[in-house]
Structure 1
Amino acid sequence: MDLTKEQIIEVLRNADAVCLDVDSTLCPDEGIDEFAKFHGVGDEVKELTNKAMGGSMTFQEALRERIKIINPTYIRLKTFLQQRTPIATPGAKELIDKLRERGCYIFLISGGFTEIINPTAKMIGIPREDILANKFLYYYTGQCVGADESLPTCRSGGKAKAIEELRKKHGYKKIVMIGDGATDLEACPPADAFIGFGANVVREVVKEKANWFVYSFQEILDELKD
């Protein structure tokens, strides 16, 4: 689907639902990279994150490798979350509030982990049931087995699958995806429009292919003024 910027704005203004990526979009950082730093393996994991988001490595490969490198446990995750302050990209809450005023539903679709996303989502008023993301699986000892690979978001093309499921469940006519990475770009279609986001990181493949690429949430808000 190759829409002009003007057509994308028109879809946004009439959207039933807007799906936001989380890492480097809703949030200024990458949650799994921060979790890796906590374990002392930040550089190794960040390299894999960039490969996945830039499209040079499949998402599922990168996810498995990152979990293997971090080697997390339930207790370590709990400690990390207790020490981490939730933070959202400037303008995110304002955009969400504005879209809701217009009768639009908001969902978070992420290749990150629900456990790490929840504190920020709660801060900006996104209920847990509106988060479509990955989950850690654990042995009875608390050692992480890996990601729950039954969830669509654990693999390439997963965000597209998640949007298909949202449309089927709720009957939405117009869905917009906003994100910074290749996995967000490939979610349109089935999303009716895609907005490339570069406030926190600019991924060249996304900037090149997105017909509307913004550097702040304010740019999107400006197009929703009545």
Structure 2
Amino acid sequence: MQIALTLVSPDPDAAQQALAVLAPALAGCHARVKEPRPLGPVALDLLVEADAVAPVRAAAEAVLSDRAVDVCVQPWNGRRKRLLIADMDSTIIGCECIDELADFAGVKDQVSEITERAMRGELDFEAALRERVAMLKGLPLADLQRAYDERVRLNRGARILVRTMTANGAKAFLVSGGFSFFTSRVAQAAGFQADRANTLIEAGDSLAGTVGEPILGREAKLAALNEEAAALGLDLAETLAVGDGANDLAMIGAAGLGVAYRAKPIVAAQADAKVDHADLTALLHFQGYAVSDFVTD
């Protein structure tokens, strides 16, 4: 079968240098490498002929584990996806919004510890969310906008990823275990066509310390993937999901290409590909997009 092996690195020389060690490793699993195709200054695409994806992926990841190179191995056909489902906190943006709200409430250390454990899969997500939101009771609503303005920034490549995929006919959906106050604004800033998240309950001009039910967690993210794919008449093989925490595992596992971005170990171990070094445009290179294809406006 024909397999796409894509190398992406922030170091312009790293992807090219990786070929020297990659070729013999692939030969060891009876894979034949075709001529590499540059996708840009920091990305290379290889057409590989082999019997199966799994041995090629294992060989490539093993030999490149100590290099600043992100690797994606997948079937060549069908790699351009028609639906993007993306997590928000620490994936599309560089922070956890609930931790930033907690900072304004003076309880960031306590909340951040719970957030970290929940994202590692050590705590029940829904119970952990209720516990953290309870600590925000009495926080002025004005601090939500202040947190967005002062703390929330798109991760590098986020807007290019979304704009390029949608310009090529895909739908981009932002789905978060965080809060709709932030997803609505981040979706607009990045170019997502829809968003789904939890709702913070208000009490006058401050937070009530509760969250709307049912809570959007792991299964709800998977449901969003399935529902959006069905609405578009897509097979799940035509979808891409990206996230960093344990509540992203179900959608990452179900998507045609599931990507772990700067992810917790439990997520990185189960995803089809990881992005630990490059920015979010790596997800475009994984689909075969060259830099010249990027929509940057």
TM category, shorter: 0.7 to 0.9
Q: Find the counterpart in structure 1 of residue 241 from structure 2.
A: 177
Letter of the structure 1 residue corresponding to residue 136 of structure 2: I
Letter of the structure 2 residue corresponding to residue 165 of structure 1: E
Letter of the structure 2 residue corresponding to residue 187 of structure 1: M
Superposition pairs of residues 51-62 of structure 1, within 5 angstroms:
51-62=117-128
TM-score calculated relative to the size of structure 2: 0.65
Q: Find the counterpart in structure 1 of residue 269 from structure 2.
A: 208
Evaluate the alpha carbon distance shift between residue 162 and residue 74 of structure 1 in structure 2; reply closer, same or farther with a 3 A threshold. farther
Q: Please point out which of 11, 25, 28 is paired with 2:94.
A: 28
Question: Does the aligned pair in 2 maintain the 1:81–1:116 contact within 8 Å?
Answer: no
Evaluate the alpha carbon distance shift between residue 83 and residue 89 of structure 1 in structure 2; reply closer, same or farther with a 3 A threshold. closer
Per-residue deviation, residues 130-172 of structure 1 (Å, max 9, x unmatched):
0011111234575425111135x1x342211222222333323
Q: Structure 1: where are the runs of 5+ without partners?
A: none
The question of 1:94 aligning with 2:156 is answered no
Question: Does the aligned pair in 2 maintain the 1:58–1:156 contact within 8 Å?
Answer: no
How far apart are residue 57 of structure 1 and its match?
0.6
Evaluate the alpha carbon distance shift between residue 182 and residue 9 of structure 1 in structure 2; reply closer, same or farther with a 3 A threshold. farther
Q: Please point out which of 103, 109, 112 is paired with 2:175.
A: 109
Q: Distance in 1 between matches of 2:109 and 2:92?
A: 22
Q: Find the counterpart in structure 2 of residue 168 from structure 1.
A: 230
TM-score calculated relative to the size of structure 1: 0.84
Q: Distance in 2 between matches of 1:56 and 1:103?
A: 38
Q: Distance in 1 between matches of 2:257 and 2:174?
A: 16
Question: Does the aligned pair in 2 maintain the 1:31–1:117 contact within 8 Å?
Answer: no
Partner secondary structure for residue 176 of structure 2: strand
Partner secondary structure for residue 196 of structure 2: strand
Q: Distance in 1 between matches of 2:152 and 2:75?
A: 31
Identity of aligned residues (%): 26
Evaluate the alpha carbon distance shift between residue 219 and residue 10 of structure 1 in structure 2; reply closer, same or farther with a 3 A threshold. farther
More strand by share: 2
Q: Distance in 2 between matches of 1:135 and 1:119?
A: 14
How far apart are residue 47 of structure 1 and its match?
0.8
Larger radius of gyration: 2
- Aligned residue pairs: how many? 217
**RMSD between aligned alpha carbons?**
2.5
Q: Please point out which of 259, 269, 273 is paired with 1:195.
A: 259
Evaluate the alpha carbon distance shift between residue 131 and residue 137 of structure 1 in structure 2; reply closer, same or farther with a 3 A threshold. same
Partner secondary structure for residue 217 of structure 1: coil
Q: Structure 2: where are the runs of 5+ without partners?
A: 1-52, 58-71, 291-297
How far apart are residue 75 of structure 1 and its match?
2.7
Letter of the structure 2 residue corresponding to residue 112 of structure 1: G
How far apart are residue 7 of structure 1 and its match?
2.1
Whose RCO is larger (CA < 8 A, sep 6+)?
Answer: 1
